[in-house]
Amino acid sequence: MDRRAVAMGILFALMWASAFTSARIIVQAAPPLTALALRFLISGLVGVIWAKAIGQSWHLTRKQWIAVAVFGICQNALYLGMNFVAMQTVEASLASIIASAMPLCVALAGWALFGQKLPMQGLLGLIAGVAGVVLIMGTRLSGGADLTGVIFCLIGLASLSTATLSVQGASSGGNYLMIVGLQMLIGSAALWVPAIALETFSVDLTWQVAVAFLYTTLVPGLAATLVWVMLVNRIGTVRASVFHFLSPFFGVAIAAVVLGEAIGASDLVGVAIIAAGILAVQLARQKG
């Protein structure tokens, strides 16, 4: 793995983890699905227009369109939609910890459902990672965390895992920015339906909310997704997913610094176990 790939991986993990904090700020002041649909509409249009300006094409193959649609719906609409709704009652740090378990879910699905071999190191890492998630969720739930919100986060996790399995097909052809933009627009279209049906538009607009919305639209929304697609195309989904082991640390740290969320001893222990488990699983899958 070259230095550029390492830098891209660290940058992606940092931007990806920061999205939970900015989202938490937004959903305390605006209807979550409407805010997310608007975010994807803006970032999607920016991505597509920019892509056309630099000569990229939206004439994709049938396989690419299917993958783009699956990624747009599973990640942008379902995963982030569930998380935005959940973070009305669930802290950003807990949501980021649950979502960071995605590589564990991908490895578990490959091993249990598709018969993919996973060395002992990977199995131990999988068990450890799941144990870390259970430790943190159990502690948070006993401390009063909202169960419904946690369930929404878990459903989002399953959707994110499905999206990750589809991204390799969407990244081929070199039209990185165009593909990212199209994924955003598909996610926006899917979100507007429940947003219009279920929500009333009302915003408590402050400068903090405005900055959070602008940040989440351009950085985690557009830049992070673009970096991820480029990274997967460069080194493959399995190797790129290694960098998710950094996300629990970044997610908890950013939420603590920006939002003042409390970090308990069980959080620190759980995050370390999850990170070690993710790293062990991904390194084992590389060997396999």
pLDDT band at residue 143 under the 50/70/90 scheme: confident
Mean pLDDT computed over 58-87: 88
Cα 235 to Cα 135: distance, rounded to the nearest angstrom: 32
Do residues 59 and 135 touch, judged by C-beta distance below 8 A?
A: no
3-state secondary structure of 146: coil
Q: What is the pLDDT of residue 123?
A: 82
The pLDDT > 70 percentage for the chain reads 93
**pTM of the complete model:** 0.85
Do residues 192 and 37 touch, judged by C-beta distance below 8 A?
A: yes
In the 8-state DSSP scheme, what is residue 242? G
Chain mean position to CA 264: 24
Chain mean position to CA 62: 25
Q: What is the pLDDT of residue 187?
A: 94
Short-list 102, 86, 106, 103, CA closest to 20: 86
- By mean pLDDT, which of 69-73, 102-106, 157-161 is the weakest? 102-106
Q: Which residue type, as a one-letter code, is found at position 54?
A: I
Q: What is the pLDDT of residue 167?
A: 58
pLDDT at 137 over 70: yes
Short-list 204, 257, 168, CA closest to 35: 204
Cα 80 to Cα 181: distance, rounded to the nearest angstrom: 16
Residue 184 to residues 180, 222, 258: CA-CA distances in angstroms? 6, 8, 27
Structural domain range at position 109: 3-287
Mean pLDDT of the chain: 85
The pLDDT > 90 percentage for the chain reads 32
Q: What is the pLDDT of residue 41?
A: 95
User: pLDDT tens digits for 203-227?
Assistant: 888 999 999 999 999 898 788 877 8
pLDDT band at residue 286 under the 50/70/90 scheme: low
Q: DSSP H helical segments within the chain, as ranges?
A: 3-27, 32-53, 62-71, 80-86, 92-99, 102-112, 120-142, 147-171, 176-198, 207-218, 225-235, 237-240, 247-259, 265-287
Mean pLDDT computed over 169-194: 81
3-state secondary structure of 167: helix
Total number of domains in the chain = 1
Q: Which residue has the higher pLDDT, 86 or 144?
A: 86
Q: What is the pLDDT of residue 18?
A: 93
Short-list 198, 106, 187, 99, CA closest to 150: 99
Q: Which residue has the higher pLDDT, 239 or 189?
A: 189
Which burial class, exposed, middle or buried, applies to 128 when counting CB atoms under 10 A from its CB (0-12, 13-18, 19+)?
buried
User: pLDDT tens digits for 75-108?
Assistant: 889 999 999 999 999 999 889 888 888 878 877 7
- By mean pLDDT, which of 161-170, 228-237, 249-258 is the weakest? 161-170
Q: Which residue has the higher pLDDT, 238 or 232?
A: 232
Q: Which residue has the higher pLDDT, 71 or 186?
A: 186
Q: What is the pLDDT of residue 34?
A: 96
